Amino acid sequence: TKRFPNMELCAKSGTAEVGTGQTPHAWFAGFLRNEDAPYAFVVLVENGGGGNAVAGTVAGKVLNVIVNGY
């Protein structure tokens, strides 16, 4: 809730393994359950590491601008 204030969302994060010695890809996908802001989103950070920590943070920053204006 701290990362997504004033938003009700359904989302899933994940980490895609890419091979030995490489940093995994981070992803975060979902949608807002809000009639005023009916957005679906997918964030993929190549070789970003952990899904929620990396891609979830990017999603939070973008959605805060779109929904909350900050």
Distance in Å from the first CA to the final CA of the chain: 16
**6-64 tens-digit pLDDT:** 899 999 999 999 989 999 999 999 999 988 888 999 999 999 998 899 999 999 999 99
Is 43 in contact with 54 (CB distance < 8 Å)?
no
Indicate the burial class of 28 (C-beta count within 10 angstroms; 0-12, 13-18, 19 or more): buried
Q: How far is Cα 28 from Cα 40, in angstroms, rounded to an integer?
A: 11
Nearest to 42 by CA among 24, 22, 58, 53: 58
DSSP 64: I
pLDDT value, residue 65: 95
pLDDT value, residue 63: 94
Greater confidence, 2 or 48?
A: 48
